[in-house]
Amino acid sequence: MGFLNILKVAFNALKRNKMRSALTMLGIIIGVGSIIAMTGVGAGAQQEIDSQTAAFGTNMITIRPGGMTAGGVRIRAASQLTLGDGEAIVKHSDLITAQTPVIRMVASVVSAERSWGSPIFGVNTSFTTIRNWGIQNGAMFTDQDYRSGNKVCVLGQTVAKNLFPGQDPVGQIIRIQNVPFRVAGVLEPKGQLASGQDQDDMIIMPFTTFQKRLGVNRDLDYIYVSVRTAQDMDAAIEDIRTILRNEHRIPSYGDDDFTVRTQEQVNELAKSISKTVSILMFIVASISLVVGGIGIMNIMLVSVTERTREIGIRMAVGATEKDILLQFLIEAIVLSLMGGVIGLIIGVATGLILEIFTGWNIIVTFVSVLISMGFSAGVGIFFGFYPARKAASLNPIEALRFE
């Protein structure tokens, strides 16, 4: 019996029970659709993290107050970061090209006609250089603004659009805690982080202005530093640790009361979390495939019982055990692959819908399609073999007598 004839018989058998075939494919459809959608989300997240690394720059280091426990949890220590810490790092390390103190608060910001709640950051003029962040309109505040504590600020894109829709914010006045500030410039758009945080929803101003005009006089939230080259990163981290331990008078046996992280380390952690979540989702989706495979096996066993007499007739007219086994195995594979194709279409459609409504970057790769379809075919072969083998091993005489 030729392969095309076996394939034709298989399709005809499945067409005779359309509803049963559709329900049998349901587990495969859900499993493949979930794999495609979840791997698309994971691949998109990985690409987004890579783009954020490039946006931040590979030579930026963040220093935060508090050490790291064995479990990786940051703890608050008695000693905090100060302006003098950042200045000491630049003074004593040739590998560090710039530093900026960073202090943060969230406040309501008011223009002539609108208001908006936004994070406010006190920094110095090196902030945009270290963060690799350009100015779209206007200019960055100056060293003179920093020294004098002038009431100037630079807006992120989100703040600018919400406070001054359709207008140029440069030169306009905004009020923060009833204090007027002149808008010196607007930052270039950066977009959202993989965590969903809007980087453009921020206002930066001179650190001295933040303290004097807003009355916030406390230690730093963190320090950003830039390293001469990405190749000097490890040596720069050691320099920073040595300098800060000296500044904080930490004995040789004491733990650091600060945490030093590169942007690449932060993003590697995010990648690791994203990969772990993707693997867990893949496992959950694979369970659906296994359930679908069990459904295929059950239905094929029912089909063998229903078609026992038909099998006897085929054997009586010359069909071999191999022909019978191949026929039922192909039926199982066809069921599984049809479910896989439908699941693929649903998975891609789900990814597109998520991208439209959530703004996530969804990437469906050829590898994920190949894996999901291969898995689908494998499920059909694995779970279809036992019913096919049972059909092929029937005794022709007993099969013909079956009622």
Q: How far apart are CA 270 and CA 138, in angstroms?
A: 34
Residue 243 corresponds to which tokens in the numbers above? 């300098």
Residue 330 corresponds to which tokens in the numbers above? 């192909």
The reported pLDDT for the residue numbered 53 is 59
Residue 250 corresponds to which tokens in the numbers above? 């930490």
What SS3 class is residue 17?
coil
The reported pLDDT for the residue numbered 106 is 93
Q: How far apart are CA 60 and CA 233, in angstroms?
A: 9
Cβ distance 226 to 128 under 8 Å?
A: no
The reported pLDDT for the residue numbered 269 is 60
Concatenated DSSP letters of 258-274? EEEEEHHHHHHHHHHHH
With a threshold of 0.75, does the pTM exceed it? no
Task: Divide the 403 residues of the chain into consecutive groups of 10 and give the mean pLDDT of each group.
Answer: 65 72 80 81 70 65 75 53 93 94 94 91 94 92 94 95 93 94 94 74 95 86 90 90 92 88 67 70 76 83 81 80 82 84 88 78 80 82 85 77 63
The reported pLDDT for the residue numbered 70 is 45
Calculate the average pLDDT of the chain: 83
Cβ distance 378 to 337 under 8 Å?
A: no
Residue with tokens 């055990």: 321
Cα torsion through 357, 360, 365, 369, rounded to 10:
-50
The reported pLDDT for the residue numbered 52 is 62
Burial class (CB in 10 A: 0-12, 13-18, 19+), 143: exposed
Alpha helices (H) in 135-232, listed in sequence order? 143-148, 157-163, 207-214
User: Pairing mode, if any, of strands 203-206 and 115-123?
Assistant: parallel
